[in-house]
Amino acid sequence: MGRKRDILFAALILLVLWEISALLLKSMALPEPWVVLLDTFGKLADGSLLDDLAISSSRALLGILLALFTAVPLGLAIGAEKSLGKRLSPFIYLLYPVPHVVLLPLIIICFGIGNFSKIFLIALIVFFQILVTTRDAAKNIHRNYFSAMQTLGASKWQIYRHVILPASVPKILTAMRISIGTAVAILFFVESFATTTGLGYIIMDSWGRADYVGLYTGIICMAALGFSLYLLLDRIERRICAWTQTG
């Protein structure tokens, strides 16, 4: 497939640029890519990074899923039900721009410093991104579609099932694509303290020990995590959104 080749080619160019910068900079803070890649493969092969990779992946994934399964139904309802939208939109308007990261102390007080707090913070931030997009998507569905459902004698639930949800799915997927980037960034933030597992910890720990190769290995793994989530999403999109490719 042409797209795969393009992505490989882009990766190659980035590696070359990295190599050139490393050679020019001659700094410990930027090791050469092949050193880092060797280190990464070594650590993956001997299994010393697998636990951290697994735990970070599950934190990110669970956070996103938690957000998805709460934000989508709520967003659809707020978008589709005028009265509900009217009542709840002002709250969203006020709460959305708040930098939710600042709620971390509160979350830790409520849920402790364990995994759940980390997942919860990721979910909270991604929640709003998905909520707002879903609401707008559900609000802007052409009324022709509702008339058509009415002529077929559909119930409210059937209208959600056959029109409101499927019409909003493409925008929801776009929101999720943005959310993956956010989730990985927040993941790093929540793993950078009060934990001894996860890629974020690996990065901070290596940095503290001035182990720059280890630091970059952590970064590579984190990037790979985000990238895998993108690929997964692409897969899902091709499966459930075939109609958007038909013009």
Residue 236 lies near another protein (rule: CB under 8 A): no
Q: How far is the CB of 161 from another protein (least distance, A)?
A: 10
Distance CA 160, CA 163 (A): 6
Select from 30, 37, 92, 154 the one that contacts another protein (CB under 8 A).
154
Residue 144 lies near another protein (rule: CB under 8 A): yes
Which residue type occupies 94?
L
Distance CA 192, CA 202 (A): 8
Distance CA 138, CA 20 (A): 48
Residue 169 lies near another protein (rule: CB under 8 A): yes
Select from 21, 150, 194, 209 the one that contacts another protein (CB under 8 A).
150
Tell me which residue has tokens 């970064």.
219
Select from 10, 12, 65, 152 the one that contacts another protein (CB under 8 A).
152
Burial class (CB in 10 A: 0-12, 13-18, 19+), 198: buried
Select from 85, 166, 181, 226 the one that contacts another protein (CB under 8 A).
166
Residue 239 lies near another protein (rule: CB under 8 A): no
Of 58 and 150, CB closest to another protein: 150
Select from 27, 48, 58, 158 the one that contacts another protein (CB under 8 A).
158
Give the residues lining the site for another protein (CB under 8 A).
144-145, 147-148, 150-155, 158, 162-163, 166-167, 169, 241-243, 246-247
